[in-house]
Structure 1
Amino acid sequence: MIKFGFIFLISYQLCFSASACARAEYEVNGECCPMCAPGNRVYWHCTIDTSTTCVPCPPSTYTDEPNGLNKCLLCTVCNAVQGLRVKRSCARTADTVCEPLEGFYCIEQNKGSCGFAVKHNECHPGQYIRRAGTALTDTVCGNCSEGTYSNGSFITCQPHSKCETKGLAEIKPGTVSTDAECGSSAPIGIIAGATVTAGVVLVTLGVSSLFYYKIKHRRPTNEMDNNYTLPIQECGSMQSQCDTETTSPDSGIPLISSSKSPEMDRQSAQVVSLPLS
């Protein structure tokens, strides 16, 4: 009985050894065939009389390990939609190696190639870049403290500008996201003096213009006297009645009437001058 068991064990080991293929072999129909080298595929499987027939992989395909495949593997495409670009092109013996686009980092990797990437976090105004993102890590942001600012793209927060040290006036105070705004300024005494001087010049010009206007449009004295001085006409001796009315050229109101008596007219011609009102 013991002898029969020993014989069975030996027979089992021999059968198992015959059916198990070596590391560089693959099994087909119970036979162990040699594998094809990387960059190749199986064209014909081995037989009792022949070894495995292999052929190179066609373009855009590869095998990167010894294999017993009938078809080569398709090369990976680095898709920009997935945040990827080509780091190393595909070859017969190696697949394409992808890497994240600029400003992206990888979240899925396989055999040293990135399978998917996402965009780096962007720091907001009032934050600075504490640690810049890489192809494998995201950006880390920090908050600015009081008296400093950053627009989100600075690696450190910058102190607000001191306008007084530049001899300028502060127009707008700084915030955590913006710098202080400075503007040109002048001493108060100079500003007040300039204002007073400008006022005096304007008043002087106004008075001069008014004086010039009055002189230019004033009516001469002789002309005014002639307009308001009218003679009394002398009536002849045969004239029974002589009436002369003198009116103001401007108002049309009678100023003087001559006497209806011929005797007064013959004495002398009188000139009546009305005083100017």
Structure 2
Amino acid sequence: MDHSSADGEQTAAFETIKDKNGIDQVILRQARGASVRISLHGGQVLSWKNDRGEELLFTSSKAIFKPPTAVRGGIPICFPQFGNRGSLEQHGFARNRMWRIDDNPPPLQSSEMDTDANVDLLFKPSDEDLKKWPHGFEFRLRVALVTEGSLILVPRIRNINCKPFSFSIAFHTYLAISDISEVRVEGVETLDYLDNLFDRERFTEQGDALTFESEVDRVYLSSSDVVAVFDHQKKRTFLIKKEGLPDIVVWNPWDKKAKAIGDLGDEDYKHMLCVDGAAIEKPITLKPGEEWTGRLELTVLASV
């Protein structure tokens, strides 16, 4: 982690600021100009810009930036569950809690993560969290910008309990797109998926690519490690590469659902698409002392 400026001329690779509610945010800048902004509320990536300063993540026009609500946009972290279950809030509590900067994280195996623009965050459950979900854990997250401007998230979850526990996880990535009707998703063809619009009934994808003309809310199971989102109007392609996150959630609320969501503008659905690296169908189980590591890499390429 580099808190200093490079060569004394460029802006610091790592900077902390406070938002209007006094919550710490971290800004990472890569030498060519790409940047990412992360809030310590939820450990949530709020902004990711390419080297031309173009925003690549969507944020709702009605987003609420005040805790305890997670911001509608960016990359909220859904943990230890995805959806609604039991006494936990929807999508779990990690996205609604304060994280902290981890100044002394255990080393990562992957040497390519030694970039000059990264930050390590740490979340531990409070006593209140442990009452609702009685499992001791440490959730570490490294957020990094690599040379080409790709955004990499490396989550690590360790069981510090004396008994096993299981969890689900999703990085609920809101991609900024030109127009939902101009977008297609490749890499999900022939996959089975759970359709949340049909009470999680299981279907098989029949199309060569997924396009959008109505609400979509699906969990594609055991997907390939690379999924591509083509935005024809903006002539760019998002590549979503993942490890340890076998499933892919694809969600767009369309017009009626968008009007029913209080912190989403009525027309916002046209300019957003959620494509999440996730582990949902088969929860991850950790024995005492065991650690799980995942990896999500988001890259943007120019396309014709």
Question: Do they superpose with TM above 0.5?
Answer: no
TM-score when scaled to structure 2? 0.15
TM-score when scaled to structure 1? 0.16
* Structure (1 or 2) with the larger CA radius of gyration: 1
Report which of the two has the higher share of helix. Answer: 1
Report which of the two has the higher share of strand. Answer: 2
